[in-house]
C-alpha cells in the first residue's frame, strides 16, 4: 500500500522529548513516528497525514497487516494520507495518545476512557463481533494435564503458580480478572503469584502452552483467533474461569478534527463490510483478519459509561482491600474515586 505508512511506537526518553525542533524530529524518526510531517498539526493543512494508533492485541506484525486494507479505504474516504502507529505495548500507545501523536486510534475500553476524559479525543465507533453480544469475556487459562487442577487450587495457593497476564490498561488481561476474580478473594494479581510474564494475549497463551507459565489471562475473542493460528498449542490449554461481558474496543478521534471528519469516518466505519458485492466481500475478509471483527457500530462518548463504572468499581475494591495509615486516609481515597467517577460521567454524558 502506497500511502499508509507503518511505524513502530517505542516511547521516547524524557530528554529526547525535551530537545529542540530539529533534534526532536530526528529522535522521533528513530522512534518511528517522524515519517509524517511533524510540523503539520491538525487543522493546519487539509492534506496533512492522519496518524492511526493500533492497540497491540496480537503480535505487532499481525496488528499492522490486519489493519492495512481498512486503512487504505479509510484514506480514500477521508481524502487524507494515513500513517499507521503500531505500538509494541499499551503503555507505548497510551503515551502517544497523551502526547497528541495520534489522530485516530483503536483502543481498549480503559484506554478509550482515558483518551476521551483526559486527552481531548472522542469515541466514534465500537467493534461488533459475529456472536452479536455487546462484549467479550475475560478468561483464565491453564495447561491441559498441567499441575493446576482447578480454579480452587489457584485461589487457595496463588503463590504456587506462575502467571502470564496483560498490561494494566488491558481490560481482559488485567482489569477485569483483578476486579471480578482476584480482588474479591483478597489476591493481589501483581504480587501474590510466583512470578509473572506481561504481554499480549497471544504471548500469554503461548507462555502457558509452552510451559513458561501455569496460568494466563486472556479473552474469548482473542482465544478464538489463537485457536485458528495455533491449533496445536490451543489443544494444550483449557479455560478455568470466564468473566461477565466486557465492552468491545473503540475507535476514537481527536476533537480538533471537527464534526465533518468525524461524520465521514463514522459513516465509513458503519458501512464497512456491509451489503453485497465483491467489495463488501473483500471488506468482510479484512474484518475477519482483524481479530474476526463483524464490523463497527456508530458510537459516542456515552458508550464508555460501562467502562467508567468498571474502573470505578476496581478502584473502590482496591481501596477497600488496601492497608491504610488510618481511616481518614482511606475515606479520602474513596472520596477522590467517587469525585473522579462523577466527573467522568458528566463528561461522557455531555456528548
Same domain flag for 235 and 162: yes
- Cβ proximity of 52 and 82 under 8 Å: yes
Higher pLDDT, 225 or 116: 116
Same domain flag for 255 and 275: yes
Final residue of a structural domain among 247, 274, 290: 247
Least Cα distance to 202 among 180, 235, 224 occurs for 224
How far is 125 from 102, CA to CA, in rounded Å? 16
| Residue 345 lies in domain | 305-349
Sheet holding 237-247, edge to edge: 195-198, 162-165, 215-219, 135-143, 237-247
Same domain flag for 149 and 239: yes
Q: Which pLDDT does position 268 carry in this prediction?
A: 98
What is the full DSSP assignment across 76-117? HHHTS-EEEEE-SSHHHHHHHHHTT--SEEEE-HHHHHHHHH
Same domain flag for 8 and 128: yes
How far is 11 from 1, CA to CA, in rounded Å? 26
Same domain flag for 118 and 261: yes
How far is 58 from 200, CA to CA, in rounded Å? 6
- Cβ proximity of 33 and 7 under 8 Å: yes
Same domain flag for 66 and 201: no
pLDDT surpassing 80 at residue 9: no
pLDDT surpassing 90 at residue 48: no
Same domain flag for 128 and 252: yes
pTM, rounded to two decimals = 0.81
Same domain flag for 124 and 258: yes
Structure confidence by residue, pLDDT tens digits, 15-39: 223 333 333 333 333 333 333 333 3
Residue 292 region, left (φ>0) first, then alpha (ψ -120 to 50), else beta? Answer: left
Same domain flag for 28 and 107: yes
Structure confidence by residue, pLDDT tens digits, 249-300: 999 999 999 999 999 999 999 999 998 999 999 999 999 888 789 999 999 9
CATH number at residue 140: 3.40.190.10
| Count of domains forming the chain | 3
Same domain flag for 159 and 229: yes
Final residue of a structural domain among 208, 232, 247: 247
Least Cα distance to 87 among 67, 110, 117, 114 occurs for 67
Angle at alpha carbon of residue 286, lines to 281 and 288, rounded to 5°: 95
Same domain flag for 151 and 105: no
Same domain flag for 264 and 121: yes
- Non-local (6+) Cβ contacts of 101 within 8 A are 33, 51, 53, 85
Residue 154, strand partner residues: none
How far is 92 from 101, CA to CA, in rounded Å? 11
Amino acid at each position: 500500500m502506497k500511502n499508509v505508512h507503518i511505524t513502530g511506537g517505542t516511547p521516547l526518553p524524557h530528554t529526547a522529548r525535551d530537545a529542540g525542533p530539529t533534534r526532536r524530529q530526528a529522535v522521533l524518526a528513530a522512534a518511528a513516528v517522524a515519517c509524517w510531517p511533524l510540523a503539520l498539526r491538525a487543522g493546519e493543512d487539509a492534506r496533512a497525514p492522519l496518524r492511526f494508533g493500533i492497540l497491540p492485541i496480537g503480535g505487532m506484525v499481525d496488528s499492522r497487516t490486519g489493519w492495512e486494507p481498512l486503512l487504505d479505504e479509510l484514506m480514500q474516504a477521508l481524502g487524507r494520507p494515513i500513517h499507521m502507529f503500531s505500538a509494541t505495548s499499551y503503555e507505548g500507545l497510551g503515551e502517544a495518545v497523551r502526547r497528541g501523536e495520534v489522530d485516530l486510534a483503536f483502543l481498549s475500553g480503559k484506554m478509550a476512557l482515558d483518551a476521551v476524559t483526559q486527552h481531548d479525543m472522542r469515541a466514534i465507533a465500537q467493534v461488533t463481533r459475529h456472536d452479536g453480544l455487546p462484549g467479550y469475556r475475560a478468561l483464565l487459562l491453564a495447561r491441559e494435564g498441567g499441575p493446576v487442577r482447578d480454579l480452587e487450587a489457584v485461589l487457595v495457593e496463588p503463590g504456587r503458580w506462575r502467571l502470564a497476564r496483560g498490561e494494566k490498561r488491558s481490560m481482559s488481561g488485567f482489569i477485569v480478572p483483578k476486579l471480578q476474580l482476584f480482588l474479591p478473594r483478597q489476591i493481589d494479581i501483581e504480587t501474590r503469584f510466583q512470578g509473572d510474564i506481561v504481554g499480549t494475549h497471544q504471548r500469554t497463551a503461548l507462555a502457558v502452552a509452552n510451559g513458561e507459565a501455569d496460568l494466563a489471562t486472556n479473552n474469548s475473542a482473542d482465544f478464538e483467533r489463537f485457536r485458528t493460528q495455533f491449533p496445536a498449542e490451543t489443544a494444550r490449554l483449557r479455560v478455568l474461569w470466564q468473566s461477565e461481558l466486557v465492552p468491545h474496543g473503540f475507535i476514537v478521534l481527536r476533537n480538533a478534527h471537527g464534526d465533518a471528519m468525524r461524520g465521514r469516518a463514522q459513516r465509513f466505519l458503519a458501512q464497512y463490510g456491509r451489503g453485497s458485492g465483491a467489495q463488501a466481500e473483500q471488506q468482510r475478509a479484512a474484518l475477519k483478519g482483524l481479530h474476526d471483527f463483524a464490523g463497527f457500530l456508530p458510537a459516542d462518548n456515552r458508550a464508555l459509561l460501562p467502562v467508567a463504572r468498571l474502573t470505578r468499581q476496581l478502584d473502590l475494591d482496591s481501596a477497600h482491600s488496601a492497608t491504610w495509615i488510618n481511616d481518614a486516609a482511606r475515606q479520602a481515597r474513596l472520596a477522590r474515586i467517587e469525585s473522579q467517577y462523577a466527573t467522568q460521567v458528566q463528561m461522557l454524558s455531555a456528548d
